[in-house]
Amino acid sequence: MATTTDQSSEIFNQLLKKAKEKFKQSSLSKSKWGLSLCATPIQMGKPIIMGINWGGGSIGDKNEYKIQEKMPSESDFQKELKNGNYKFLTRSKQLLEKHRQLRIDDDEFNYTNLCLFRTPKASELPDDAMDSCIEILQEFIKKIEPDWILSFGKSNVITLGKTKALIENNQNSSTLSKFWFSGKLWGYKFYSLPHPNARLKNEYRNSIWKNVFSCK
């Protein structure tokens, strides 16, 4: 599906406005940590890679993070990638190419987080922060209509599982006791894999990636 800059910018501005309202209502509103909607330009029909929440906007931001005001360009993302801001994506580069034929250097995907609010550490998020962003995430996904969604870490599966919008392929397995998840989120293919920082042997991690994407 072709995407025009105007179409992408309109979606970005609509969702950013809603995110700002959610942020004002949150207990983080008095912090200097801010929020972001996405790290890549919005691309219709392209896959979505999703983390937990935003840390600093850049390595030099320290503990005063700005609120994102405009949609990033491809060059903006590539600059941050080269500066080491998305190390977990760099660590997953070979696996993404092998199992999804996706090159992070080609910008053929959308990147966002389940929680749009920034904190120095994910552990500093208040209990209701992730839940408050689910409505915006749902709209983000439905407007983009991605081929598939890939989430890193178990936290997102636990949070989204509460919405009953996340449906597992294998209903007989225990979602919370395993490293990976395959199913659908609001009707779109959804996969969850161990965070790249998780201490796993390379052969075991590769096996998990192979298993999760073999699910229909």
Q: Give how far the C-alpha of residue 115 lies from the chain's centroid of Cα atoms, to the nearest Å.
A: 8
List C-alpha distances in Å: 12 to 67, 112, 178: 13, 12, 34
Q: 12-16, 121-125, 131-135, 159-163: which has the minimum mean pLDDT? A: 121-125
The model's pLDDT over 169-200, given as tens digits with 9 standing for 90+, comes to 764 444 444 678 899 999 999 999 988 778 88
The model's pLDDT over 51-104, given as tens digits with 9 standing for 90+, comes to 988 875 444 555 557 789 999 999 999 998 888 888 888 889 999 999 999 998
The model's pLDDT over 32-62, given as tens digits with 9 standing for 90+, comes to 788 999 999 999 999 999 998 887 544 455 5
pLDDT at 127 over 80: no
Structure-token match 């190419």, residue found: 97
The class level of CATH for 5-214 reads alpha beta
DSSP letter assigned to residue 151: E
Q: Give residue limits of the domains in the chain.
A: 5-214
Determine the Cα–Cα distance for residues 103 and 108; give it in Å rounded to an integer.
7
Cβ atoms of 22 and 136 within 8 Å: the answer is yes
